[in-house]
Chains A and B, each alone.
Chain A
Amino acid sequence: MLKDGISPLSLSLMVMAGWTFCGLLGYGLSRMSGRVLTSVFYWSALLGLLLVYSGIWSVADDRNDALRLPLGLPGLPFHLRQDLLSGYFLVVLGSVAAAVSFYSCGFFKKETPRRFGWLSLWIPVFLAAMTGVLVADDAFVFLLFWEAMALVSFFLVITDFSGARIREAGFLYLLLAHLGTSLLLISFVLLSLGSPKSGLGALSFDSLRNGSLAPGMMIAVFFLSLAGFGAKAGILPLHIWLPEAHPAAPAPVSALMSGVMLKMAIYGLVRMDLGLLGIKHLVPVMGAVILVLGAVSALFGVLHALMQHEPKRLLAYHSIENIGIILIGFGLSILFFTTHHPIPATIALSASLFHTLNHALFKSLLFLGVGSVIAETGSHDINHLGGLMRRMPYTGFFFLIGSLSISGLPPFNGFVSEWLTFQSALWATDLGETFYRSLVVLAAALLALASALTAMCFVKVVGVSFLGNPRGPGAGNARETGIHERLGMGFLAAGCIGLGIFPVPVLAGIDRVIRSVIGAGLPIPPLSQTWLWLVPVSPRQAQYSPVLLAGSFALVIGLTWVVVRLFSGKNAKGVFPTWNSGYPFRTARMQDSADAFGQPIRHFFSPFFLIDRHLPDPSDPQPEYRLKVEDPHWKFLYRPVTRMILFLSGLAERLRNPRISVYLVYSFITLFLLLILLR
């Protein structure tokens, strides 16, 4: 390995080892010295940047490095590989890891040594496990790291395990994670049935890729893996752990889980469907299913986000929404590919991959911002906040950028991926069947609806928590966060703006990734003609120049500013009170609350919610308004399933008998049956 110099893969492995070492170091030192040594996170951040470099190296040089380590099962050594697809996701992982680690340097300063030891051990190990998932090249290694990732993130979710609610959230997460892993295990085993090799060697990705399966088996593998990865990504209806686990974990952990870990499931889906199953073996229905799941998840996520007043839970629902948007792109690409329209298929896939990166950046930015707000105000309810823009200007500014990005507004990055998704959905006319055509356009309509609702939701979050007047003492006494936190968020915010204004180089990289995975790329490769314009097909059909747009926007704002300052009246001296509509007084409680802001949506989309509302009585001297909005999946899916399982286990309970002879009878019967069966 060292003989022929260093390769991207070996660099990534070194980063993995470095993270593991970092974790052990942080844990050991903080335990031994009883002090909080946040400096390990500096190293962790640096390793994140190295990983970004390694990923870019893979993509830029078209590297496809493989390695076999003599570890693991007999007949199945560890297969590792870093190709372009892994490289791209390593960039996603590394950039978020770097920013979050840097943020953690400041954020964890006030922790107790015990808690810090826990966090400083598991966070870097979590990062290492995710790297392992990305460089795995056989099903065994993949599942090994996948399970490690799930377990470590479970430990991180239950960091504050003294709270019963947090333990419950952790348990729910663990349950769904294991459900997903077992489905994945089954799907890998089924897939290996068709592989040319036999024995454990059949589990390497190479032999899986070259396998041939019956079409029915293909479909089974596809849907099992979709459910397995869906449980991790939070696709409806397997999303219920997200809104519980994200608020439970500390902010940097939520940022990593939502920003990166969900993307591992996206990586898995792309790897499984496009890499292992092979795009040639897919059928249009699969694309349609993913498309519908994505569109429904997107709408459902944003609607429930609008109902929340707990910021982390709100962001968790937005993760469901954004995974839905990514899946819309992915589903579109499968649908178009399998109906032989490679051009819109590549546009959709690049939109999907680009949104993966974008979502990683802005979602972790938003989680970090919320983390700072919660740390400074001590409040988990945005109805108690207000006016933070003046007290925490940097945090407020970065959060605003994240909000504008997630709302899909130009010239930020979220807009570019949504624009590309629309551009590919517009090709619906080329599809033969009326049903698919209508489906694609309706999905695009839902995407537009979801993105407009996201804008509404973030006007709510920013407006209620950062603008206006403080609604509680916590918000009134808040102070700006430390320099590390600001730099960590600033890095991500710069990423959001940078990718929004200069998406073309990134899309050029994505184009190479897509070429390597499915053998076809965009008709006009980005960067091949100009870096100013983003042209999916032809300038006549659609083009977008974020550079010019942002430039002229800045120019017009600047000119307007100067001209208006020169020729207009003066500022009045001092600050004047606002109009109270004739009331003698006004309190901060009269401002719109988060629940009030969501009211029109609650009314309009009432069938999507289970609403429990308590209205105050007119004669009540202490009027109180309470509102609880529940996810209908609990009532209509999970509780019935739970009841059924309990019922079945109750039946099984009847078999239990205190007398040992009865058990012997059971054993005898079992033996008897087995003998008949295996006769």
Chain B
Amino acid sequence: MSGGAGSVLGSFFQIVLVGVLGPLLVGWVNWVRGVLSNRKPPSVIQPFRDLFKLFRKETIRPSGTSALFGLAPYVVFSAMVVASLLIPVVSTVSGGRAMGDAIVLVGLFALARVFMALAAMDTGTPFGGMGGRREMMVGFLAEPATILVLFTTYLLSHSTMTGVTSEVVREGSVLPTPSLVFGALAYFLILLGENSRIPIDNPATHLELTMIHEAMLLEYSGRNLALMEWGSSIKLLLYLLLGISFFLPWGMSGSPGWQGDLLALAALGGKLVVAGAALALFETLMAKLRIFRVPEFMTLAFLLAILGFLSHFILEV
């Protein structure tokens, strides 16, 4: 518990960084998608403009909603902000002792999901119920799959602490083992499902019959919508960051000192640019799945994760 003040400052810096990078990442993905589909892409900072505009707008309270509806955006946003403190961003050396491990992180994401789904049910509209139900349908397989991916990384590092894991992976061999490859594949599918990306959900449209994320946010407006959207963009960023710290931690700073941190920040920026572009490319190439096929998709993620640690048991011990 050394450096209490320093770690508080560091946490604050990390929150600000994540809060800014989140919308930026979404803007970047949208930009690349625009270019790839031969459209004139929106500016990379368009999400910031949207957020700013939403914050200035009036907030409407739909009829028939309870206090939970107004509370949910704050819970979702705060869960994401707190979650960002559990992931190593630039350095695998954490200032103080972390508040929790990766399982706590999964729990926080689940908390946000439950509140989002509950708020959707609170509107009392058919759409809200549909969105909430579908979100939970994706979640019930994505959450255990994430835990299983954590089991796989645990096999390598003997730790569920995110910082320790990325340190071990970074110092280990560059050659991927089958278990890590399976884990990474499973994680990629989870990332798509959890963040309502193609082929699970299309973040770009309001197509009624297939949407999940938008269906839940349909009745939100003004600052509540801004918080929800901001929180979602941070969630995408956090999933990428967690994936980077588990499967591509090379370039992260391993020792204290600002020079290392700056270098790591540059490396992180590079990785995020590449990852965002890759995500956009994948989304452009894929078609959206039928909603009935979504559980099968998530089962594949679950099974890949199981195969990950089974192959460790079979091969690597």
Which residues in window 125-147 of B have CB below 8 A to A?
125-130, 132-134, 136-137, 139-144, 147
**Chain B residues near A57 (CB, 8 Å)?**
none
State whether A393 and B223 are in contact (beta carbons under 8 Å apart), knowing that A455-B136, A543-B161 are contacts in the complex. Answer: no
Task: Classify chain B: how many residues form its interface, as a range.
Answer: 35 or more
Q: How far is the CA of A249 from the CA of B39 in the complex (A)?
A: 64
> 1/0 contact trace for A424-436 toward B, CB 8 Å?
0010010000100
Task: Classify chain A: how many residues form its interface, as a range.
Answer: 35 or more
From A387, A456, A548, contact of B136 by CB (8 A)? A456
A89 within 8 A of B: no
State whether A545 and B99 are in contact (beta carbons under 8 Å apart), knowing that A448-B147, A452-B139 are contacts in the complex. Answer: yes
Chain B min CB distance to A15 (Å):
37
A549 within 8 A of B: yes
Q: Select the stretch in A275-283, A316-324, A560-568 that faces chain B.
A: A560-568
CB pair A429–B155 under 8 Å, yes or no, is yes
B233 within 8 A of A: no
B164 within 8 A of A: yes
Q: How far is the CA of A438 from the CA of B143 in the complex (A)?
A: 20
Q: How far is the CA of A541 from the CA of B61 in the complex (A)?
A: 46
Name A454's closest neighbour in chain B (CB-CB). B140
**Chain A residues near B292 (CB, 8 Å)?**
603
Chain B min CB distance to A511 (Å):
20
A553 within 8 A of B: yes
**Chain A residues near B142 (CB, 8 Å)?**
452
Which residues in window 248-290 of B have CB below 8 A to A?
none
A649 within 8 A of B: no
Q: How far is the CA of A407 from the CA of B118 in the complex (A)?
A: 13
CB pair A467–B74 under 8 Å, yes or no, is no
Most chain A beta carbons < 10 A, residue from B127, B129, B227? B129
Q: How far is the CA of A541 from the CA of B100 in the complex (A)?
A: 11
Q: How far is the CA of A533 from the CA of B61 in the complex (A)?
A: 40
Q: How far is the CA of A63 from the CA of B208 in the complex (A)?
A: 65
B192 within 8 A of A: no
**Chain B residues near A429 (CB, 8 Å)?**
155, 313, 317
Chain B min CB distance to A422 (Å):
6
B198 within 8 A of A: no
B48 within 8 A of A: no
> 1/0 contact trace for A224-265 toward B, CB 8 Å?
000000000000000000000000000000000000000000
Q: How far is the CA of A409 from the CA of B309 in the complex (A)?
A: 25
Q: How far is the CA of A557 from the CA of B147 in the complex (A)?
A: 26
B42 within 8 A of A: no
CB pair B111–A540 under 8 Å, yes or no, is no
> 1/0 contact trace for B217-257 toward A, CB 8 Å?
01100110011000000000000000000000000000000
CB pair B144–A455 under 8 Å, yes or no, is no
A-B contact pairs, 14 of them (CB 8 A): A410-B107, A410-B111, A429-B155, A445-B144, A445-B147, A445-B302, A448-B144, A452-B110, A456-B139, A543-B97, A544-B101, A556-B78, A557-B75, A569-B56
18 further contact pairs, Cβ within 8 A, besides A386-B124, A542-B160, A560-B77: A451-B143, A456-B137, A467-B124, A468-B122, A541-B161, A544-B103, A545-B97, A569-B55, A569-B59, A570-B58, A578-B123, A579-B127, A591-B125, A592-B126, A597-B129, A600-B134, A601-B137, A601-B140
Across the A-B interface, give the 5 residue pairs with the lowest CB-CB distance, nearest first: A592-B129, A463-B121, A448-B144, A468-B124, A389-B66
